[in-house]
Amino acid sequence: MISPFLRTAAAAAALLAGAALVAPAADAQQPKHGGTLRFVMKYEPPTLSALNNTSTPTTSSKIWDGLVTYDIDLKPLPMLATSWSLSPDGLQYTFNLREGVTFHDGKPFTSADVAFSIMRLKAGHPRGRGTFANVTEVKTPDAKTAVVVLSKPSPYLLVALGPSESPIVPKHVFENFDVATPPGPPQHIGTGPFVLKEWVRGSHAVLDRNPNYWDKPRPYLDRVIIRFMPDAAARAAAFEAGDLDLGGLAPVPLSDMERYKTHPRLAVDTRSFAYTGAQHQMFINLDTPILKNKKVREAIAHALDLQAIVDTVFYGYAKVSPSPISVALSTWYDPAVQARKFDVDLANKLLDEAGHPRAAGGMRFPLRLLYNPFIDARLAEFVRQSLRRVGIDATTQNLEFGAYVKAVYTDRAFDLTVESLTNVFDPTVGVQRGYWSKNFRIGLPFSNSAHYENPEVDRLLEAAAVEIDPAKRKQLFSEFQRIVHADVPSVDMISPLEVIIANKKIRNYARGAEGLGDNFADVHFVD
């Protein structure tokens, strides 16, 4: 049997070379066994599993496999499923499962586990309820075949089955385990390349090599240590001291990144990964009377220099992403949607026309500008200053996360909010929630905070959600992007790059679209 990863190995090597990491061809052929990878995460999740939690893609995939995994272009590759087919009506996915796979506790992996996992993800995963909403049942005609039956076509289903999003868990362990409780160490049993050995809360988790992994001779590493370090300076110090090998999501301050680029031991790897679909946008509260006027919203968009945001706030580690669908989702982003020209005069003119002349003191009207505290506060500061230039007296408020979520999504006590509604791997799953009128839900985090209502947009989103022809679906999303861009319920700004810092001696840590959600089975050290 040909390993699915052999095919990706070449692609990964090419990528690494592209990222200025010199990867001699010989390494890809004869990786050496052994070594401990020290991986850092910023925050400690309540569980390492992605079964009912979406903050854990980079830990879950090491312990649990998915049915499929992806190459860098989001093309599905075999993982626990060796092959699959879709019925012509788009209502039945048949997965043929891998033989001879066992869970960490020695029990065999069968189609019953697949059926159980998918229904459990539908019941308990924060995104799973949406992703698997159309799944009516999973049939298991035999131990190595699983048939997912849908009530409506779900074109995004196959991209939702990666290990970092939809882990396949053992039925015998989770059957009697509460749907909503974060799985603890006794439940950390999967088929993945690494086995949980120890988890010291607030400090680290130790994962040991799974000697019975189906993808022999992988995994190459003996051990992966995941350290949870919330302080950027501490992470930087640990990297410098040689205590860490790998970290994602810009583990050290971007302002320090130049230093790491010339570091003898460490490399900076900047890519964007389609599975994350990173996107920062500013939602405009359409319930605010002044902002109901489209000219005002356009003026706000014209007042922002997106390229300057990329260059200054993000030190160049981002891309301008002017459409509601992130440029990171290259399959769906429509390049015809371009950023509004940065033009202070035009913005001023539009605001004058909208009937908001500058009063004494030079300001036209005040606005409350909030920002998600997980985003660099300087982005909100940049927006604030840009708006003041055109006479909008924006005031920012620094709220910690719980207070922020309540202010925006429950109290709606904001006019503009700089958000980070990531697009994840598919617009139906990641983008629709922000613009679909039926998802205007008071009290629901990351819903339609602008209170945007456009029947045509609703129709396009709903049609795209069940369209199985990729070309037609792309067209629907293109139209959606053009309409939303014209309506300006949000100013879509930038897509931050992943920014990984890695020990120069490690290879293949992010082979596919899942980025560091890779299962690390192919990670190895070179001399």
Q: Which of 54, 92, 331, 397 binds other proteins (CB under 8 A)?
A: 54
Judged by beta carbon, residue 127 or residue 340, the one nearer other proteins is: 127
Residues 433-462 that bind other proteins (CB under 8 A): 433, 441, 443-446
Cα–Cα distances in Å, from 307 out to 36, 304, 315, 388, 424? 40, 9, 11, 18, 23
- Computed on alpha carbons and rounded to an integer, the radius of gyration of the chain in Å comes to 24
Host H or E run for residue 478: helix 470-487
Q: How far apart are CA 445 and CA 461, in angstroms?
A: 20
Judged by beta carbon, residue 214 or residue 220, the one nearer other proteins is: 220
* Among the residue ranges 50-58, 335-343, 481-489, 495-503, the one whose residues contact other proteins (CB under 8 A): 50-58
Are the CB atoms for 381 and 312 separated by under 8 Å?
Answer: no
Owner of token pair 């680290």:
204
Cα 469 from chain centroid? 24
Are the CB atoms for 463 and 318 separated by under 8 Å?
Answer: no
Q: How far apart are CA 495 and CA 324, in angstroms?
A: 11
- Tell me the number of residues near other proteins by CB under 8 A: 62
Q: What angle do CA 452, 435, 296 make, to 5 degrees?
A: 45
Cα–Cα distances in Å, from 467 out to 55, 157, 239, 490? 29, 12, 46, 26
Going 91 to 474 to 416 to 308, the CA torsion angle's sign is: positive
Q: Closest approach of Cβ 193 to other proteins, in Å?
A: 17
Q: Which of 410, 438, 470, 486 binds other proteins (CB under 8 A)?
A: 410
Q: Closest approach of Cβ 28 to other proteins, in Å?
A: 28
Q: Closest approach of Cβ 519 to other proteins, in Å?
A: 20
Judged by beta carbon, residue 4 or residue 126, the one nearer other proteins is: 126
Q: Which of 34, 73, 401, 438 binds other proteins (CB under 8 A)?
A: 401
Q: How far apart are CA 47 and CA 183, in angstroms?
A: 6
Q: Closest approach of Cβ 59 to other proteins, in Å?
A: 14
Judged by beta carbon, residue 201 or residue 216, the one nearer other proteins is: 201
Q: How far apart are CA 180 and CA 53, in angstroms?
A: 9
The residue type found at 505 is K
Q: Which of 3, 36, 82, 145 binds other proteins (CB under 8 A)?
A: 36
The reply to whether omega before 230 is within 30° of 0 (cis) is: no
Residues 237-296 that bind other proteins (CB under 8 A): 237-238, 240-243
Judged by beta carbon, residue 203 or residue 312, the one nearer other proteins is: 203
Contact map string, positions 93 to 122, toward other proteins, x by CB under 8 A: ------------------------------
Q: Closest approach of Cβ 315 to other proteins, in Å?
A: 21
Is 320 one of the binding residues for other proteins (CB under 8 A)? Answer: no
Q: How far apart are CA 206 and CA 457, in angstroms?
A: 47
Residues 173-202 that bind other proteins (CB under 8 A): 179-184, 197-198, 200-202
Judged by beta carbon, residue 179 or residue 336, the one nearer other proteins is: 179
Judged by beta carbon, residue 312 or residue 374, the one nearer other proteins is: 374
Q: Closest approach of Cβ 222 to other proteins, in Å?
A: 10
Q: Closest approach of Cβ 494 to other proteins, in Å?
A: 18
Q: Which of 122, 127, 218, 340 binds other proteins (CB under 8 A)?
A: 127
Q: How far apart are CA 156 and CA 151, in angstroms?
A: 14
* Among the residue ranges 11-19, 213-221, 406-414, 477-485, the one whose residues contact other proteins (CB under 8 A): 406-414
Owner of token pair 């586990």:
113
Is 402 one of the binding residues for other proteins (CB under 8 A)? Answer: yes
Contact map string, positions 206 to 245, toward other proteins, x by CB under 8 A: x----------------x-x-xxxxx-xx--xx-xxxx--
Is 316 one of the binding residues for other proteins (CB under 8 A)? Answer: no
Q: How far apart are CA 278 and CA 314, in angstroms?
A: 14
Judged by beta carbon, residue 104 or residue 125, the one nearer other proteins is: 125
HEC readout, 258-271: HHHHCCCCEEEECC
Judged by beta carbon, residue 28 or residue 380, the one nearer other proteins is: 380
Q: Which residues pair with 77 in a beta bridge?
A: 69
Q: Which of 74, 135, 350, 405 binds other proteins (CB under 8 A)?
A: 405
Strands 365-371, 392-396: pairing kind: parallel
Q: Which of 119, 126, 172, 349 binds other proteins (CB under 8 A)?
A: 126
Burial tier of 143 (Cβ tally within 10 Å: 0-12, 13-18, 19+): middle
Are the CB atoms for 397 and 442 separated by under 8 Å?
Answer: no
Judged by beta carbon, residue 143 or residue 407, the one nearer other proteins is: 407
Are the CB atoms for 101 and 67 separated by under 8 Å?
Answer: no
Q: How far apart are CA 47 and CA 451, in angstroms?
A: 33
Judged by beta carbon, residue 220 or residue 228, the one nearer other proteins is: 228
3-state SS class at 90 = coil
Residues 6+ apart with CB under 8 A from 25: 13
Is 403 one of the binding residues for other proteins (CB under 8 A)? Answer: yes
The residue type found at 266 is L
Judged by beta carbon, residue 181 or residue 330, the one nearer other proteins is: 181
Is 49 one of the binding residues for other proteins (CB under 8 A)? Answer: no
| Residue ranges in contact with other proteins by CB under 8 A | 36, 38, 44-47, 53-55, 126-127, 129-130, 179-184, 197-198, 200-204, 206, 223, 225, 227-231, 233-234, 237-238, 240-243, 399-407, 409-411, 422, 424, 433, 441, 443-446
